[in-house]
């Protein structure tokens, strides 16, 4: 099969995946989708899954990287709705299993296509908007410098930690005392960056209420 034949045969799949993103040039999405298709073809071996299934994450991955550089990323409402279901399920399974389940385990539990689950998670990871970040309580402003903070405020801060559960406390200390990025915290705790961001925001709001 020639390169042109390969692209022509799978153009429908590329366009279908491109439809999952908006507020981004469709032409650019299709172009990078073709790159993903060619990468998949180069790595594909007979005996692997069906080629279209194998190529799917390659195509989606290239498109995701393209839109991930855009801070105004938007995805379909269907993916956002699915992401909420995925994270709710992940949380419930974590309570049951005692550890945070992988995307594959969530997909198997929900009896859904793994690629679809990955789409929802990857897209949502890129949706920590500037508006959300601007609305977050900046803990650094609350605790000031570690060496100059007055005793009374330090006591208040320590007391506010009591409203957090163990995971929330670990995230806050990692972020604001160890100065780790959300990505670093996510890797350390085996979470997604979006989960860390969500728990961090919730924790800061709880601390803010405790400090009032």
- Please check whether residue 207 is in contact with residue 139, taking contact to mean a CB–CB distance below 8 angstroms: yes
Look up the CATH number of the domain holding residue 15: 1.10.1740.10
In this structure, the answer to whether residues 134 and 207 fall within a common structural domain is yes
Lowest mean pLDDT among 146-150, 153-157, 204-208: 146-150
Percent of the chain predicted with pLDDT > 70:
73
Residue 94 structural domain: 76-125
Q: pLDDT: is 31 or 145 the higher one?
A: 31
pLDDT at site 10: 93
pLDDT at site 13: 92
In this structure, the answer to whether residues 26 and 50 fall within a common structural domain is yes
Whole-number average pLDDT of the chain: 75
Averaged pLDDT for residues 14-28: 82
pLDDT in tens, 96-122: 877 778 888 888 999 988 888 887 777
In this structure, the answer to whether residues 57 and 101 fall within a common structural domain is no
Tokens of 88: 């709710």
Residue 85 — very low, low, confident or very high, per pLDDT cuts 50/70/90? confident
Q: pLDDT: is 16 or 48 the higher one?
A: 16
- Please check whether residue 118 is in contact with residue 63, taking contact to mean a CB–CB distance below 8 angstroms: no
Averaged pLDDT for residues 130-150: 40
Closest by CA to 192, choosing from 100, 105, 64, 57, is: 100
Question: Which letter does DSSP use for residue 100 in this model?
Answer: P
Look up the CATH number of the domain holding residue 138: 1.10.10.10
Closest by CA to 203, choosing from 165, 177, 158, 176, is: 165
Tokens of 89: 């399920």
pLDDT above 60 (res 131): no
Look at residues 125, 143, 158 and tell me which one is the last residue of a structural domain. 125
As a whole number of angstroms, the distance between CA 93 and CA 43 comes to: 34
Angle between helices 77-97 and 103-110 (to 10 degrees): 100
In this structure, the answer to whether residues 109 and 82 fall within a common structural domain is yes
Give SS3 for 21. strand
Helix (H) or strand (E) holding 124: helix 114-125
Give SS3 for 74. strand
As a whole number of angstroms, the distance between CA 194 and CA 125 comes to: 5
pLDDT above 70 (res 95): yes
pTM: 0.40
pLDDT above 70 (res 52): yes
As a whole number of angstroms, the distance between CA 37 and CA 144 comes to: 51
Give SS3 for 191. coil
pLDDT in tens, 154-202: 555 666 777 888 888 888 888 777 778 888 888 888 888 888 888 888 8
As a whole number of angstroms, the distance between CA 48 and CA 162 comes to: 51
Q: Please count the structural domains in the chain.
A: 3
In this structure, the answer to whether residues 145 and 181 fall within a common structural domain is yes
């Amino acid at each position: 099969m020639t390169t042109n034949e390969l692209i022509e045969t799978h153009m429908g799949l590329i366009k279908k995946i491109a439809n999952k993103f908006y507020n981004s040039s469709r032409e650019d999405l299709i172009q990078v989708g073709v790159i993903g298709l060619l990468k998949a073809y180069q790595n594909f071996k007979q005996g692997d899954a069906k080629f279209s299934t194998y190529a799917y994450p390659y195509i989606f991955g290239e498109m995701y990287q393209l839109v991930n550089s855009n801070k105004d990323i938007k995805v379909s409402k269907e993916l956002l709705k699915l992401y909420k279901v995925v994270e709710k399920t992940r949380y419930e399974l974590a309570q049951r299993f005692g550890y945070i389940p992988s995307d594959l385990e969530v997909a198997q539990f929900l009896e859904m296509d793994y690629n679809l689950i990955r789409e929802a998670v990857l897209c949502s990871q890129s949706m920590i908007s500037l508006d959300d970040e601007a609305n977050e309580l900046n803990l650094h402003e609350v605790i000031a410098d570690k060496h100059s903070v007055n005793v009374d405020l330090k006591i208040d801060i320590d007391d506010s930690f009591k409203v957090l559960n163990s995971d929330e406390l670990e995230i806050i200390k990692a972020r604001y005392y160890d100065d780790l990025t959300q990505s670093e915290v996510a890797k350390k705790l085996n979470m997604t960056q979006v989960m860390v961001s969500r728990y961090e925001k919730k924790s800061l709001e709880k601390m803010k209420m405790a400090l009032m």
